[in-house]
Each structure stands twice: as structure tokens, then as C-alpha cells.
Chains A and B, each alone.
Chain A
């Protein structure tokens, strides 16, 4: 036992000695949380609008006022013709144009919105919002017959969606990538031979490598949860105990993945690229973090089904944001547990006691 612990302490010292990596490891979740929480939104804001009108009569001015006063649009210029406005949009000096017909005041011709369609989603939102702002009159609540409410996330804060995904990505990064690189680096440097001839069982050497990363991952998990709760205001609606339990299961899964990669890779470069390509890319792309999985073609949806972080992120979303009980995430937990068991079995089987 004492041998095991001295190995763990050795590994911990290795990690702590590398100040730059530690800085990034702690800085990355903090910066990502700040970015996703405050800087990355698809909110409609500051849409640069050009007003095209040949004359400014009372009606036109009223409509323009309504646009300017709304928080969504900013009037950046007025133009005489639609062609001029189009040129402004092309040189990216504006995002959309509102064209008033010359007999607008007679309420017969209406107006035209010219929208930069490069980003179809945003273009649609701009058109919808502009239409609503321009045509809205004073609300008369007796005409209310259509209500709309957003569950769990009434202010539509995108942080709610990103935080579980960031957790999934960072934990996978630390546990799988760093563990595998650490093991492979020892193989590459030649110090693995020295370790293997020591009286400690080879498996203990590997497990001793994983333990500090487990602790590190746990610390980072706490940092992320604290930041999410206090800085971003993401509610931790579910039971904290189950959140931590499921996260530990996921960490074990990532560690076994790291172990498997380290068995297969011969050089650090290969280990790094394998974990980056096979783990990180699918996590970022297929986990539902940035792009909805339901919109992808069937083939990709099947691939997404075997990516472990997907289940973890789903479970975290339900536990953290929707606040459901452990019963509702049973499916995800079982899948994660099964994956962990399978990966552990395979990596232990393939583990070479001798260096080939």
C-alpha cells in the first residue's frame, strides 16, 4: 500500500511541476464559462438597419422611431434607393434595410424588408422581430388568446445549455487525454522501463497514474459547478449528491478510455491526435452542445449514440437544469455504467505487462 501511495505522490508532483499546463487546466473552464455565459449568444441585438425612403413623412417617422427605440435594431444610415442599401449590406456596413414605399402614408403599399440572408437563422429572426416591432400597436389584453411560455429557462439564457456540455468536454479532456498522454510520454522517454522493473505490480503503476487525474478532475468539476451557480446563475435544481455521483461515473469512464488509448498509442503525438480526433471532436460536434442532434442525418445520429459524453450531458441537463429525480436519468446512467465496464475490461485485457 505504501508503495502505491508513493507512486501516487510521484505522479502528483509531476503534474504540479508543470505550471503552464495547470494554469490552462484551471483557466480553461473559467474562461469557457465566462465566454459561453456572457459573450456567446444568438440574441437579436444591434442589428444594423438602413432606412430607405424618398421622403420622411409622419407615418414613416413613427415607424422608424419604433424601430430605433427597440433594443434589437440600430439605425446606422439612411439611403435614397434600395440599391444603395444593398451595396451597404454587401460591404457589411449594415445587416438589413427597411424600404418605405413613396406612398406609405396612404397605408396601401406597406414596406419591404431587405435582409442579409447569409445566416439563414438570424435572417429569419431579424425579419420576424422587425415585423413584430413595426406592426405592433398598443396591446389590448382582451385579445390575448395565444400565450407562450418557456419552461425551465424563461429568460432563454444559453448558459443553461452550455454548462453541462462544457463539463462533459473538460472532464473528458482531462481524464482521457491527459492520462493517456502521461502514460505514453513515459513510454516514449524510456522511464516506463524503470517503473516496470520495480517490485510494484505494473497495473498499480498505471492506476497510480490515474489517481491524481481523478482528483484533478474532481476539483475542476467543483470549480465549474461553483462558477455555474454563482457567476452564471445556472440553477442546480436537482440533487447535488446525484450530480456528483453521475459525474464520478463519467470520470471513471473517461479514465478507462484514457487507459485504452495509452495501450494503443506508441508516441505522444498519436495519443494526442487520437484523443483529440476520436474524443473531442465528437464531443463538441455530436453531443448536442452547439448543434441540435435531432437535426442531423440518421447516420450521424447513430454515431452520436455511441459517443459517451452525449449521455453524460443529457443526464446533467436533466439533473441540473430540469431538476428531475434519479429515476428519470436511469437510462443514461445504465448506458454510462455499461460503457465503463466494457472499456475497463478491454483495456485491462490489452494491457501489456512487458513493453513490446
Chain B
């Protein structure tokens, strides 16, 4: 019985002109384009310099900024007000004013990250100059600006991502996003599409059991998820030369568990919705919430306490932690055992709910 239902599902997917193309193209487009988009590196910042002092040192600093590959030199302006106009027009991002031996860095912080990172890099350059000039060390952090006599040296060693390659950090995240979108949205539209076209009535009158019906809808999406993960991993290796440090079967296991969660969740939403639009919107809402609170884009540790509590029931959070541990840090089974068990528990709970929420006679 189950075999025929699964066959029916595959036939339906293939018959739809749009879906097979989407399933193949979407991961490819995302994997090829997104890592270039997700550059959190702050680059191409325009610096305007207002040099009132015009000393040899200040001019040397100006030349250094102009020669820096990191900043774009916006030019020397004669007054601070003139430079501010540039910022207002969006033509400049940071102003460096040199007056009476004092250095002021004013950064446009509407985009907080951009402002603070640009300001930090610029102050590093200024610090280097000052240190060379008279051995003083002036720090400038947005929250505290204090001079000190540095009494000991601090070295720093970076683990796992030696080249500070942001792509390495984001590729597992992209895997998660592609999986989430593919196995989240497609099952959502599945049952509710049948409801809208009326074919659900025919299935309801057959003696097919609830769990067989739901299982037959879940399995094709797992297979699609398997395919999608493979394509993404191959692309990551081909295009970026990035491969998981840890074991591959752990990556697959985690991906399958995430697929279990999202496809069950999609079916649940589908069961409770009457139209495709409703199902889409509800799913969209939950996906955005899950994605934002999972630690995919921003670290979960920076969240306020109430938000941090939600990560305990957020399967995406466990997935992201685990996949980054396996992919980047080279963790093994023992390191991700905690996340694996959480994912299994949540996945099974969702699958049971999907079966129970499907009503043959409403």
C-alpha cells in the first residue's frame, strides 16, 4: 500500500512543470550566489579627512589611509561641516578630523556593525601611527577610550578557521537554509493543494490509514532533502574548496533529522489550513522566527535571556550548533550527541503530531 502512495507522490511532483526544476536549480543558485552575498566583512568604507593641523605626521597618516586597500579615500575636506554633508548624502561613511594633536573618528553608525568595525579598523591604523611616533598606545573602543601602559603582551590564536574565511562559517548555514526552504515549504503546499483541488476527498474515502498517508507524504521529501544535501556538499567542494572536517555521515544524519522536523511541521500547517495562501503565510511566519532565533546569523549568546530560552525548543538551533561543530570544528559523535538526541526527540514529536492532526472527516 505504502509503495503505491509513494509512487503517486513522485508522479505528482514530476507532473508539475515547475517543481522538479525548482528542486534542482534552487540549491545550485543559493550555493553559488549566497556565499558572495553573505560577506560580513566590512569593506569599501569611504573616509573623509579633515586635517586642520597639517603637520608632517598628520599628512603621513592621510597618505597611509589613501594607500590602504581597506578604505576608500574620500578626499580631504576643509571643515568638519563639509565632511558631514558628505555623510548626509551617503558619499562618505567616516570622518577623521585631526585638530590640535587630537584625532576624532566620527563614524556613521546607522548600520551599527559597519560603523563600529570601520571605526575600529581606522583607529587601528591611527594607533599604529601614534605608536611609531612616540611609543604611546591609545585605544579607541566605542565603549571605552583609555590610554594605558601595556604591561604584558597578549597573543591570540584562532582555532578552526585559520584564514578567517567567512564563507566557511556560512556554508553550513546555507545548507540549513536550503534544507529548511525545500523541506518546509513544499510539504506545506502539498496537502492544502489537494484540499483546494478537491482530490483529498477521494483519499479520505479509501481505507488508507492516517500514518500510511502521512508517511507517504514525508518520504519523498526526505529523498529530496538527501538529494539537496548532496548537491550542496558537492558544490561547496567544487566551487569553494570547502569540505567538512568531521565525518560525512554525521552531516547527513543531522540533515535528515532536520528534514524530518520541517516536513512534519509543513504537513501540520497544511492540515490546519484551508487555502494555500494561509498555509504559506503561517509557514513563512514560523520559518522567519525559527531562522532568526536559531543562531544562524547572529550568536545566540548575545540574546536576552527570554529569547535564549526559546532556543531550547528550536531545532534549527541544535542543527546549526551541531553542523558547525562537525563541519568546521571537526567534532565527532560524542560532541554532538546532545544535539542529535534533541533533534530526534523534536522530530518524532512533530511527526506524531502530523499524523494525529490529519482528519479524514472534518
Residues on A close to B: CB < 8 A? Answer: 18, 20-21, 24-25, 27-28, 31-32, 35-36, 38-48, 86, 89-92, 95, 104, 107, 109-124, 127-132, 134-140, 143-154, 156-158, 160-161, 178, 181, 185, 268-270, 272-273, 285-286, 288, 290-292, 294-297, 300, 314, 317-318, 321-322, 324, 328
Q: For B18, list chain A residues within 8 Å (CB).
A: 269-270, 273
**Contact A300:B36 (CB < 8 A) given known A90-B325, A273-B22:** yes
**Contact A21:B277 (CB < 8 A) given known A41-B303, A146-B105, A146-B127:** yes
Tell me the residues in window 284-343 of chain B with beta carbons closer than 8 Å to chain A beta carbons.
284-285, 288-289, 292-293, 297-299, 301-304, 307, 321, 324-325, 328-331, 334-335
In contact, A146 and B103 (Cβ under 8 angstroms): yes
Min CB gap B280→A, angstroms:
6
In contact, A145 and B130 (Cβ under 8 angstroms): yes
Min CB gap B191→A, angstroms:
14
Q: Which of A117, A131, A285, A292: most chain B CB closer than 10 A?
A: A117
In contact, A118 and B329 (Cβ under 8 angstroms): yes
| Nearest 7 A/B pairs, CB to CB | A143-B147, A110-B153, A139-B146, A150-B109, A117-B161, A117-B158, A39-B307
Picked from B107, B146, B304, the residue with its CB within 8 Å of the CB of A150 is B107
Q: For B68, list chain A residues within 8 Å (CB).
A: none
Min CB gap B159→A, angstroms:
5
Min CB gap B32→A, angstroms:
11
**Contact A115:B158 (CB < 8 A) given known A20-B282, A152-B110:** yes
In contact, A269 and B276 (Cβ under 8 angstroms): yes
Contact mask for chain B residues 199-211; partner A; CB cutoff 8 A; 1 contact, 0 none = 0000000000000
**Cα–Cα distance between A213 and B257 once the two chains are bound (Å):** 39
In contact, B301 and A38 (Cβ under 8 angstroms): no
In contact, A144 and B161 (Cβ under 8 angstroms): no
In contact, B278 and A119 (Cβ under 8 angstroms): no
**Cα–Cα distance between A152 and B90 once the two chains are bound (Å):** 13
**Cα–Cα distance between A290 and B37 once the two chains are bound (Å):** 10
Min CB gap B73→A, angstroms:
15
Q: Which residue of A lies closest to B43 (CB)?
A: A295
Q: How many B residues face the partner with a CB closer than 8 A?
A: 105
In contact, B280 and A272 (Cβ under 8 angstroms): yes
**Cα–Cα distance between A318 and B166 once the two chains are bound (Å):** 29
Q: For B166, list chain A residues within 8 Å (CB).
A: 120-121
**Cα–Cα distance between A120 and B163 once the two chains are bound (Å):** 9
In contact, A132 and B144 (Cβ under 8 angstroms): yes
Picked from B33, B107, B292, the residue with its CB within 8 Å of the CB of A148 is B107
Q: For A300, list chain B residues within 8 Å (CB).
A: 33, 36-37
**Contact A181:B108 (CB < 8 A) given known A112-B157, A118-B329:** no
Q: Which residue of B lies closest to A40 (CB)?
A: B298
Picked from B152, B153, B299, the residue with its CB within 8 Å of the CB of A119 is B299
Tell me the residues in window 178-210 of chain B with beta carbons closer than 8 Å to chain A beta carbons.
189, 193
Min CB gap B306→A, angstroms:
8
Picked from B87, B111, B304, B321, the residue with its CB within 8 Å of the CB of A39 is B304
Q: Which of B37, B114, B117, B277: most chain A CB closer than 10 A?
A: B37
Q: Which residue of B lies closest to A72 (CB)?
A: B143
In contact, B292 and A20 (Cβ under 8 angstroms): no
Min CB gap A26→B, angstroms:
11
Q: Which residue of B lies closest to A139 (CB)?
A: B146
Q: 16 other contacts beyond A92-B329, A272-B280, A295-B43, with CB at 8 A cut-off? A: A31-B289, A86-B159, A92-B335, A112-B155, A119-B169, A145-B101, A146-B123, A146-B130, A146-B145, A150-B115, A151-B108, A153-B115, A161-B113, A292-B113, A292-B114, A328-B90
**Cα–Cα distance between A42 and B301 once the two chains are bound (Å):** 9
Q: For B115, list chain A residues within 8 Å (CB).
A: 150-151, 153, 156
Min CB gap B342→A, angstroms:
13
